[in-house]
């Protein structure tokens, strides 16, 4: 059975281990971003859209438990965290779970098991996505893949729905172009202009429903929903 592509944030300061893990996950068709410090990990996890954070506890600047705690407190949605550590005592594992870790893998580990655990965490995270999501005037009925704008149906393509869902899941933060492409098309992205074309079509469809200028372009990054702090346009 083909794997569903995931977007992983790998937080590991050991360059050899980081290269090995990233190469294996990339070989599955996944997208892997790497952070060698806790500071960068927190910045990326609270800015970009990931399915799972793979977090080493031994980092050069910030303790991994503090990084986990910060990600859980500041990420725009529930972001699963898989901790990697050489500490295998029960007390160490208990401390990790108390700080918000969703799973724990002891070094050395089998890369195939790491991938299986990431998939399980991503599936669990998807179960937490509400069947009905509300962001400002938008209602997304996720199971039916339908969108309502101020209770009026919006005619969207399946691709348009997936783009809008990702923007809503990460609102008010922007979503990078690479993460949108990964979320919509996985390991088989279309040509480079496809995302731009679908964003254009999505804007037009929202405009026809009465919601003009709801998707803002963020230069050098990607896109975000253009709503104010109260969820208004």
Neighbours of 181 (CB within 10 A): 19
CB 30 within 8 A of CB 24: no
* Residue 124: both structure tokens together: 């669990």
At residue 1, the pLDDT reads 40
Calculate the dihedral angle through the C-alpha atoms of 123, 128, 233, 216, rounding to the nearest 10 degrees: -20
What digits encode the pLDDT tens for the residues 16-31? 999 999 999 999 989 8
What digits encode the pLDDT tens for the residues 59-108? 999 989 999 988 888 876 678 999 998 877 778 778 888 888 889 898 88
Q: What share of residues in the chain are helix, strand, coil (percent, to 5)?
A: 40, 20, 40
| pLDDT at position 11 over 70 | yes
Number of helices followed by number of strands (H, E) in the chain: 8, 12
SS3 call for 226 = coil
Q: How far is CA 4 from CA 1, 120, 201, in A?
A: 9, 11, 26
At residue 125, the pLDDT reads 62
At residue 2, the pLDDT reads 46
| pLDDT at position 121 over 80 | yes
Indicate the pTM of the whole model: 0.61
**pLDDT classification of 230: cutoffs 50, 70, 90:** very low
For residue 66, give every residue at least 6 positions away whose Cβ sits within 8 Å of its Cβ, in sequence order, or none.
38, 99
**pLDDT classification of 8: cutoffs 50, 70, 90:** very high
**pLDDT classification of 32: cutoffs 50, 70, 90:** very high
At residue 99, the pLDDT reads 81
Domain at 7-127, CATH homologous superfamily = Response regulator (3.40.50.2300)
| pLDDT at position 54 over 50 | yes
Question: Which is higher by pLDDT, 146 or 233?
Answer: 146
CA–CA separation, 63 and 43 (whole Å): 15
At residue 82, the pLDDT reads 94
Beta bridge partners of 99: none
Tell me the torsion sign for CA atoms 107, 110, 114, 116. negative
CATH of domain 132-225: 1.10.10.10
What digits encode the pLDDT tens for the residues 125-164? 665 555 678 888 898 887 778 899 988 888 888 889 889 9
What digits encode the pLDDT tens for the residues 173-211? 888 888 888 777 766 677 767 888 999 999 988 988 887
At residue 97, the pLDDT reads 83
Domains of the chain by residue range: 7-127, 132-225
- The candidate with the shortest Cα–Cα distance to 14, out of 74, 65, 58, is 58
Question: Which is higher by pLDDT, 113 or 170?
Answer: 113
**pLDDT classification of 14: cutoffs 50, 70, 90:** very high
SS3 call for 11 = strand
CA–CA separation, 15 and 60 (whole Å): 13
At residue 19, the pLDDT reads 95
Q: Do domains 7-127 and 132-225 have the same CATH topology?
A: no
The 8 Å CB, 24+ separation contacts for 111-119 are: 111/20, 111/21, 111/24, 114/21, 114/24, 114/25, 114/54, 114/82, 115/3, 115/24, 115/25, 115/28, 117/82, 118/6, 118/8, 118/25, 118/51, 118/52, 118/54, 118/82, 119/3, 119/4, 119/6
């Amino acid at each position: 059975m083909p794997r569903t592509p995931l977007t992983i944030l790998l937080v590991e300061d050991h360059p050899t281990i980081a290269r090995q893990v990233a190469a294996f996950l990339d070989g599955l068709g996944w997208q892997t971003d790497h952070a060698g410090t806790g500071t960068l990990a927190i910045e990326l996890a609270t800015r970009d859209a990931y399915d799972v954070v793979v977090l080493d506890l031994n980092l050069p600047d910030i303790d991994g438990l503090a990084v986990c705690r910060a990600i859980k407190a500041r990420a725009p949605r529930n972001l699963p965290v898989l901790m990697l550590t050489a500490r295998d005592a029960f007390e160490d594992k208990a401390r990790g779970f108390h700080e918000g870790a969703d799973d724990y893998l002891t070094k050395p580990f089998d890369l195939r098991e790491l991938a299986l655990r990431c998939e399980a965490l991503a599936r669990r995270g998807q179960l937490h996505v509400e069947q009905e999501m509300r962001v400002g005037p938008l209602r997304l009925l996720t199971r039916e893949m339908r969108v309502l704008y101020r209770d009026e149906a919006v005619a969207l393509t399946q691709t348009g729905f997936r783009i809008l869902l990702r923007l809503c899941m990460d609102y008010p933060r922007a979503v990078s172009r690479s993460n949108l492409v990964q979320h919509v098309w996985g390991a088989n992205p279309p040509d480079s202009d496809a995302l731009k074309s679908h964003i254009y079509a999505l804007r037009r469809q929202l405009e026809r429903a009465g919601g003009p200028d709801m998707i803002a372009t963020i230069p050098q990054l990607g896109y975000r929903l253009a709503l104010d702090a109260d969820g208004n346009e």
